[in-house]
Amino acid sequence: MIISVTSGKGGTGKTIVATNLAYLSKDVQFVDCDVEEPNAHIFLKPSITFSQEVSLQIPEIDEKKCSFCGECALFCNLNALAVTKKGVILFPQLCKGCGGCILVCPEKAIREKERLLGVIEGGRFQSGEFLHGRLIPREPFASPIIRKLKKMIDGRKELVILDSPPGMACPMISTVIGSDLSLLITEPTPSGLFDLSLTVSVLRTLDIPMGVVINKANKNNIIEKFCEKENIPVFMKIPFDRKVAEVYSKGHLLVRDEKWRKKFEELFERVLSLDEI
């Protein structure tokens, strides 16, 4: 079963839920897809045993062959190429590596070269396999790394956990797409609710079943009301507790504490029980 753990708003406790859940499984693959700010390794403390570079194929123009016809620049929908009388200018950070310019060039003057975007690292932690990616700061596009990470998913595992980036733009979509269940982590504030409603609409269009975890829960029941109206199950509530924040700040897991372990075990059971349906 593949689950994605996501949230519209950042900092709602996505990684807390994902890592604690991972710790309880005996046969898990944990994939941190938040490649802009990967944090799960801080909690799961995997021993990293391999690393692999991720790059994008971008064009390289052979000026000797180029006739400056401008076809490539005309084709590029991302405006990554500009042709002047003196030469072709590539804006590498705009290029997504679609390869179209190579196909349209009548002089066959374009080759591809690699542009390094980041790395993927993997290894093992106590309960299973660990993978994450890191985008090089200054690079704009996270999705190629996420796509690569997702190709490494091992579907035979009892549980694959995808720790998703926040938001609802491309990096989040690339992560959650194809998962069997999405856990949405939110908090009972107006902004928590607003961002949750955005995420719900995304997941509905993608047709992914979902369950909600309310973090920093208190007497305010705006999230419950919303979930009831939308017919989305609330799987778990993590009460507001300064202790949780302190444990988190040190990079520790909550499940080491008996009380929390029970709660996360219940969540774990709920998640897995959905697999049988």
DSSP one-letter string for 17-33: HHHHHHHH-SSEEEEE-
Residues 37, 32: Cα–Cα separation, whole Å? 9
Q: Which does 80 bind (CB under 5 to 8 A by kind): another protein, ligand SF4, none?
A: ligand SF4
Q: Which amino acid is at 58?
A: I
Residues in the chain: 277
Residues 77, 21: Cα–Cα separation, whole Å? 42
Near another protein by CB under 8 A: residue from 59, 122, 128, 165? 165
Determine if 202 is a binding residue for another protein (CB under 8 A).
yes
Determine if 233 is a binding residue for another protein (CB under 8 A).
no
Determine if 80 is a binding residue for ligand SF4 (CB under 6 A).
yes
Q: Which does 133 bind (CB under 5 to 8 A by kind): another protein, ligand SF4, none?
A: none
Shortest distance in whole angstroms from residue 152 CB to another protein: 15
Shortest distance in whole angstroms from residue 194 CB to ligand SF4: 31
Shortest distance in whole angstroms from residue 91 CB to ligand SF4: 8
Near another protein by CB under 8 A: residue from 141, 226, 235, 264? 141
Near another protein by CB under 8 A: residue from 36, 121, 129, 163? 36
- Measured from the CB atom, the residue of 128 and 188 that comes closer to another protein is 188
Q: Which does 117 bind (CB under 5 to 8 A by kind): ligand SF4, another protein, none?
A: none
Residues 28, 154: Cα–Cα separation, whole Å? 9
215 within 8 A of 185, measured Cβ to Cβ: yes
56 within 8 A of 94, measured Cβ to Cβ: no
Residues 80, 73: Cα–Cα separation, whole Å? 7
Per-residue x/- track, 100-139, another protein (CB under 8 A): x--xx------------------------------x-xxx
Per-residue x/- track, 36-65, ligand SF4 (CB under 6 A): ----------------------xx------
**In the chain, beta strands by DSSP E:** 2-6, 28-32, 47-61, 81-83, 88-90, 110-125, 128-135, 159-163, 181-186, 210-217, 234-239
Residue where the block lists tokens 């076809």: 71
Question: Interface with another protein by CB under 8 A: which range of 20-28, 83-91, 188-196, 253-261?
Answer: 188-196
Determine if 237 is a binding residue for ligand SF4 (CB under 6 A).
no
- Measured from the CB atom, the residue of 101 and 145 that comes closer to ligand SF4 is 101
Determine if 74 is a binding residue for another protein (CB under 8 A).
no
Q: Give the CA distances from residue 240 to residues 8, 87, 102, 118, in Å, rounded to whole numbers and listed in that order.
A: 19, 60, 55, 36
Residues 173, 202: Cα–Cα separation, whole Å? 8
For ligand SF4 (CB under 6 A), the number of binding residues is 14
Near ligand SF4 by CB under 6 A: residue from 2, 61, 88, 101? 101
20 within 8 A of 264, measured Cβ to Cβ: yes
Binding region for ligand SF4 (CB under 6 A): 58-59, 75-76, 78, 80-81, 95-101
